Chain A
C-alpha cells in the first residue's frame, strides 16, 4: 500500500513536471496552429541559462525565472516573426514542420558546440530537500513545480477569458479572417502567443534545472512526452494539457514500477499512437479540407 501511494505521488509529481513543460506547447499549438518541434530546445536553452545564472552569478535558480522567462519570450517572438510568420501562408505543412525541425537541430548542436556533451548540473539550492508527508516522500522542488504549474494554468486561463487581449488571442485561434475583420492585428497576436508559450518553458526551466541534469538532448527527452500530453489533452486546451500531463505522469510512474522501467516509454508512446489514431476528432480541425462539403 505504501509503495502504491509512493508510486502514485511520484506519478503526480512527474505529471506536474510534464504539465509545466506542455502548457506553452499547447498554447502555440492551439493558437498559432504550428507544431513547434523546437519547443524542447527552448526548454534546454532555458535550463542552460538557469545553469549559467546560478553558477556564474550565484542567483537562486527560482529567481532566475525573472530573467529567463523574458529572455525566452523574446526568443519566441523572434522565432514567430522571422521563421514562422513568413511561412504562415505556405500551403504545405512540410514547410513549417521542417522550419522548426531545422531550428531544433541547430539549437541542439549549438548547445553541443558551446557547452559540450557533458552534463551541466545546476545547484539544487535546497530544492532537492526531501519532504515526508505521511508514508510518501517528495522533493521540495517537485512541490514547487506542482504549485507553479497549477497557478500557471489558472493564470493563463484567466488571461484568455477575462482580458481583451486574451479574448483576441482566442478569436484569432477560432477564425483568423474574422479576427482581422474585428481590427485585430493577427501577426502581432501570433508573436505574443509564441512569446508567451516560450516564456512558459523559461519559467519551467528555472524549476526543472535544479532537479534534472542539463544536456543538449534534454529537450528532446521532454518534448516528446509533451507532445503526447498536448494531443491527449486536446489541441490548445490548457486544462486538457494539465489533465493529460497528470495521466501520462501516472502511467509513466506505474508502468515504470510494475512493468519495467526500460519499457515504460513503450507504454506512453503506445498510448499516444492509440489516441492519435482512435480519437482523431479535434486533432486536425484546422487542416481538414472541408471545401467540398458546403452546407
Chain B
C-alpha cells in the first residue's frame, strides 16, 4: 500500500506544467491568491503581521529555489544555506564599501553560481544520503571559514549593516517596502521555477531524477542539466539571502551558514509538496505563521517549541502524506487518472513503403570482451550491422546479449575491443558515453523497462522527442504522433507506472522512436505482448526499417526473429556460436544444443 505513494509527487506540477493552454480560470485564481497575500498584511498594517508575511515570502522563495534542485532534480541538498550566506555576506560587505545591495545581490548570485557548480559537479556521483551528507560537510566548511576570515566577515562578532535608509539601500523604517521586495523576490523565484518546469530543462531534470540511465539513453546530458538547475537555484537563493540580511540588519556565520536554516528550507518544500511548483509556498504559508505565532505568544518559555513542532510535523508528513499538502489536494482532483490502466490499444497497422537496399556498414563491433573480475560475460564478440538491415541477436538467458547492448550504447565500457558507428555525414566515429551514442543516432530500449514513473505517457515520450525538438509544442506533437503509432494514443495522460508490462514495453519503444534514431537497439520488446500484437509489432518494425533505420533486435519470440531478421547472430556463454541467414542458423546443431541441451539433440537424432 506504501509502494506507490512517492511516485505521485509530481501530479499537480505535471498537470499544471503540461497545459500550455493554461486555463484562464486557474491563472485568475492564482493571481487573486497572490495579490491577497500581498494586500492582507498591508491592509492590516500591523508590524508583527507584516513581519510574519515577509518571513513567509522569504522562506517560500528560498524553498522554491531549493525545490529546483531538491524537487525537480531530486538532489537533496542540505547545504543551501551556503548560497543564502554568500548572498547575505556579499550584500553587507559591498554595502560597507558603499555599493548598493541591488548590485551586491547580483554579485552574490554570481559567486553562488560558481560555488554551486564547483561543489555540485563532484557531488553528483553521490547518491541519496551521501549527497546530503556532502552538502552538510560543505556547509560546515563554509561556516568555519566564515568564522576564520575575520577581516572579511567580522568573524564570530558578525556584521552589522550601516544605517542607510531608502530604496537605494534596501533598508526601510517602514515595513511595507520590505513586504513588496520580499513578495517580488518570491514571484521571481516562482517564475523561474515555473519556466524551468514547463520547458525542456524541467522534463530533462525530472527524467534524470526518475531514471538516470533511461534519460542518458534519450540523449539527456544528465550532468549538464543538473548543473544548470543547481546554478539557477543557487543564484535565486543568494539574491533572497542578500535581501534577508538587509531586513535582519545583522548577520553572523552561525546564523547564516546554519544547518537549521538549510533543513527549514527543504522542510517547507517537503511539507508543501516536493517537486511541485507551489508546494514550497504552501508549506511556508502553513508553517511560518504557526511557529512565529507560537514564538509571539509563548515567548521565551517556548524556546524550542516551534522547532519541536516542525520536527514532529515533518515526521508525520513523511509518514502519512509523503506528497505534501499539494499532493493531497492533487490526488483529490486528479483521482480519475488512477483508474485508467486498461490494456493499451492495438498497435496501429503500419503502412509499408518499399524497402531501401541494404547499404554500407553502419555499426562495426570488434572483439568485444567484458569481464567482471574473473567472470567473463562476453568473449571476442565481433559483429557488423549494415544500413537498412535487421540483425537478430538470440541466445539462451544469461548468454550476454544485454551486456553486448550495454557496450554498444555506452552504458558499459568494454574490457577490450572497439565499437565504431557511422555518423550521418558518412565518417566512422568511436562514441564513448551514452550521450555520444545518442547524439550520433543510436537509440536503445531496456529489457527491464525503465519508464519515468512519475511522468505521464506523453511526457515520457516527449523526453525522447526533445532529442530533436527543443520546443515543447513540437516535442508534444511528435510524442502524440508516436504514441498513436504505438497504440498508446488513449493513454497520453495516464501515468507511466499505471501501464501493464506490455504497455511499458511499447512506451519504451515509443520513447526511443521519438528520438528518430538511425540505429535502433531493441532489447526483447516482444516479451509479454500477446500473439496478435506480435504480428503488428513485426509489421511496425519492418516499416521502421523501411524508413532507413538499421536495427539490432534481441528477441526470444522465435516467430518474430524468423520473420524480421535478415541475419541472425547466436550468443551462448558470452561467445558467438553461429551467424548467418536465419533459416540456416536455427537448424545448426550447436544452436539447438545451446537452447535445449545435449540430451535433446541426441534424443531427436
Q: Interface size bucket, A side?
A: 35 or more
Q: Which residues of A contact B136 (CB under 8 A)?
A: 224
Cβ-defined contact, B311 with A107, below 8 A: yes
Within 8 A of A (CB), among B116-150: 122-123, 125-130, 132-134, 136-138, 140-141, 144-145, 147-148
Cβ-defined contact, B304 with A280, below 8 A: no
A138 to chain B, nearest CB (A): 27
Cβ-defined contact, A112 with B303, below 8 A: yes
Query: Is B184 part of the binding interface, using a Cβ–Cβ cutoff of 8 Å?
Result: no
Q: How far is the CA of A103 from the CA of B318 in the complex (A)?
A: 11
Query: Is A113 part of the binding interface, using a Cβ–Cβ cutoff of 8 Å?
Result: yes
Within 8 A of A (CB), among B567-596: none
Q: Which residues of A contact B310 (CB under 8 A)?
A: 102, 105-106, 109
From B128, B212, B319, B411, A86 is in contact (CB under 8 Å) with B319
Cβ-defined contact, A294 with B127, below 8 A: no
B301 nearest CB neighbor, chain A only: A113
Which residue of B140, B263, B315, B450 has the most chain A CB atoms within 10 A of its CB atom? B315
Given A94-B270, A116-B303, A265-B144, verify A276-B134 contact (CB < 8 Å): yes
Within 8 A of A (CB), among B507-531: none
From A91, A94, A103, A289, B315 is in contact (CB under 8 Å) with A103
A102 nearest CB neighbor, chain B only: B314
Q: How far is the CA of A295 from the CA of B375 in the complex (A)?
A: 9
Within 8 A of B (CB), among A210-227: 216, 220, 224, 227
B125 nearest CB neighbor, chain A only: A280
Given A227-B133, A265-B140, A277-B122, verify A104-B311 contact (CB < 8 Å): yes
Q: Which residues of B contact A258 (CB under 8 A)?
A: none
Query: Is A291 part of the binding interface, using a Cβ–Cβ cutoff of 8 Å?
Result: yes
Q: How far is the CA of A265 from the CA of B140 in the complex (A)?
A: 8
From A92, A273, A289, B137 is in contact (CB under 8 Å) with A273
Chain A binding site: helix, strand, loop or mixed by DSSP?
helix
Cβ-defined contact, A280 with B319, below 8 A: no
Cβ-defined contact, A35 with B315, below 8 A: no
Q: Which residues of A contact B213 (CB under 8 A)?
A: 289, 291-292
Cβ-defined contact, A93 with B446, below 8 A: no
Q: How far is the CA of A35 from the CA of B128 in the complex (A)?
A: 10
Within 8 A of A (CB), among B170-184: none
Given A102-B312, A262-B148, verify A113-B74 contact (CB < 8 Å): no
Cβ-defined contact, A103 with B133, below 8 A: no
Chain B binding site: helix, strand, loop or mixed by DSSP?
helix
Choose the segment among B2-10, B228-236, B420-428, B488-496 that binds chain A (4+ C-beta atoms closer than 8 Å). Answer: B2-10
Cβ-defined contact, A90 with B322, below 8 A: yes
Given A276-B133, A277-B126, verify A93-B144 contact (CB < 8 Å): no
Which residue of A97, A101, A111, A270 has the most chain B CB atoms within 10 A of its CB atom? A101
Q: Which residues of A contact B13 (CB under 8 A)?
A: none
Cβ-defined contact, A105 with B141, below 8 A: no
Query: Is B398 part of the binding interface, using a Cβ–Cβ cutoff of 8 Å?
Result: yes
Cβ-defined contact, A98 with B314, below 8 A: yes
Q: How far is the CA of A263 from the CA of B149 in the complex (A)?
A: 10
A90 nearest CB neighbor, chain B only: B6
Q: Which residues of A contact B412 (CB under 8 A)?
A: 293
Q: Which residues of A contact B133 (CB under 8 A)?
A: 35, 227, 231, 276
Q: Quick one: CB contact mask for B249-278 with A, threshold 8 Å, 1 for yes? A: 000000000011001001100100010000
From A35, A93, A99, A277, B123 is in contact (CB under 8 Å) with A277
Q: Which residues of B contact A266 (CB under 8 A)?
A: 141, 144-145, 148
Cβ-defined contact, A295 with B372, below 8 A: yes
Q: Which 6 A-B pairs have the closest CB atoms?
A: A106-B311, A112-B304, A93-B128, A102-B314, A109-B307, A105-B311
Beyond A105-B263, A291-B446: 17 further Cβ-contacts under 8 Å?
Answer: A83-B319, A91-B7, A94-B274, A102-B312, A102-B314, A102-B315, A102-B318, A105-B260, A113-B308, A224-B136, A224-B140, A270-B141, A273-B137, A292-B402, A292-B406, A293-B402, A294-B402
**Could you write out 24 A-B pairs with CB less than 8 Å apart?**
A89-B2, A92-B74, A101-B266, A101-B267, A101-B314, A102-B314, A102-B318, A103-B311, A105-B267, A106-B307, A107-B311, A108-B311, A109-B305, A216-B304, A220-B259, A231-B130, A269-B138, A273-B141, A283-B130, A284-B128, A291-B213, A292-B213, A293-B406, A295-B372
